Structure 1
Amino acid sequence: MVRSAQSLAFEEAWDAARGEAPFPDRSNIDLKHFAKFARWFAIIEPDPNRMALPFTLVGSGFFDFLKTDLTGVDYLSLADPAIRQLAYDCVMACLRQPCGLWQITPASIAEGGFMPYEYTILPISKGKAEADHIVIHVNFELGTFAPKPHVDRVEHSTVWHWLDIGFGVPAIGG
């Protein structure tokens, strides 16, 4: 499977926001670069002291699928318990060795069955010299579901690729 035009454009906007830095500062994630992604955009501030990936900013589109505001919600509470540790470890790897992650992930839906969606994850910083947050663009337009179904749970990714942003990629994977 190939990355969507939305995923590639999201990485290009992230790259423009970082300039010459290894990753952008959160203050550089502005409407100038990210307006077209706002509906399906989120920021997660991982907790380095415990396994938690809380959303700190969430685009309005997520409410359509999850029927709740995700601000403050731990992403891991939405994921299959069997993949929570791996999901946390991979996000922390994106921060330690600055890199991105692209994946296709199925979500189980309330109506029965699964719906694939595309994640593009990249590191950012909140005024620090090291990456400490991730920005995410989610593309829910991979399937033909009408009306849009309610997502129950995030499953294990079926396609997984690290995105080398100039510092190599971690050895762990999905």
Structure 2
Amino acid sequence: MRGDVDRSQASLDFEAMWRAIPKSGLVPFLRDFVPEKVPAFLSEMVIIEVNPERPPYLRVRLAGTALNERARFEMTGTDYASYLPAEYRQGAIDSADLMVNFPCGLWQLMPVHYDTGVSRLLEITCFPLLGGAGRKPMLMTFGQDLGFLGGDMAQPPEGKLTVDTSMDYAYIDIGAGVPPKEAPGLTGEISGH
């Protein structure tokens, strides 16, 4: 990946919000996140439970209203991995597992294809959350819509929503550095802000 990642102000603001969540180590607990304090992010936010050992691998625990409206269905309770073509699923599961265990954040540009034949580009920024006693770790994700990529797809998605592989991405240092080059999917790094 290029070293000149150009993140949006919204992505940087989301990172600042995540960093402001009270924590005793590098990663805050889900219970310490207070949604009422960050209304600007809620409609474009997803909280995903990470379970790399068995389905649902990436269960959507909460999906913002703007995301549900674009998808035209309620995403809460679904497995995010099911939106990916089969050849990309394991890589996404491995990246999610890496983010919660290394730990680190992730920034990416990702095309999303809807059953209407329209494709849009999303800027994704996500950070880990600890689940607490007996709970799986989570990813707090902000998906900013960057605009229309095209329409009249020759091959509409298999389901209501298909997420393509990222066009550009980088792990974000949250205090533990970034994963080594041989880690799944690594293409670059962004220093903490």
User: Shorter chain as normaliser: what TM range?
Assistant: 0.7 to 0.9
Query: Residue 98 of structure 1 aligns with which residue?
Result: 103
The answer to whether the aligner puts 1:117 opposite 2:122 as a matched pair is yes
Q: 3-state SS of the aligned residue for 1:45?
A: strand
2:14·2:41 contact (CA, 8 Å) conserved in 1? Answer: yes
The alpha carbon displacement at 1:114 in A equals 2.9
Long gaps (5+) in structure 1: none
Deviations 1:40-78 (A, max 9, x none): 111111114225100111111111111111111000111
Please give the per-residue CA displacement for 1:105-156, whole angstroms capped at 9, x wherever unaligned.
Answer: 011233435321111010001225x98111000001x1158xxxx9731001
Q: Secondary structure at the match of 2:21?
A: helix
Given that 2:50 and 2:136 are in contact with CA atoms closer than 8 Å, whether structure 1 keeps it comes out as: no
Q: Give the match for residue 153 of structure 2.
A: none
Residue 116 of structure 1 aligns to a residue whose secondary structure is strand
- Of 185, 188, 191, the match for 1:173: 185
Identify unmatched segments of 5+ residues in structure 2. 150-156, 187-193
Matched, 1:10 2:14: yes
Percent of counterpart pairs with the same letter?
Answer: 30
Report the number of matched residues.
169
Q: Which one has the largest radius of gyration?
A: 2
Contact 2:44 2:67 in 1 (8 A): yes
Alignment counterpart, residue 155 of structure 1, candidates 141, 164, 185:
164
Alignment partners' CA distance in 2, 1:59 and 1:117: 14
TM-score, normalised relative to structure 1 = 0.87
Q: Could you tell me how far 1:24 is from its partner in structure 2?
A: 1.2
1:76-106 per-residue CA deviation (whole Å, 9 max, x = no partner) reads: 1111221110000000000110100000001
In 2, Cα distance between equivalents of 1:80 and 1:27: 33
- Contact conserved, 1:41 with 1:59, CA < 8 A, in 2? yes
Q: Answer whether contact 2:49 2:136 (CA < 8 A) is retained.
A: no
Matches of 1:2 and 1:111 in 2, distance apart?
30
Q: TM-score, normalised by structure 2?
A: 0.79
How far is the alpha carbon of 1:34 from its aligned partner?
A: 2.3
In 2, Cα distance between the equivalents of 1:136 and 1:153?
A: 17
Root-mean-square deviation over aligned CA pairs:
2.4
Q: Which has the higher helix share?
A: 1
Instruction: Give the AA of the match of 1:27.
Output: R
Greater displacement, 88-97 / 112-121 = 112-121
The answer for the alignment partner of 1:81 in structure 2 is 86
The residue that corresponds to 2:47 in the other structure is 43
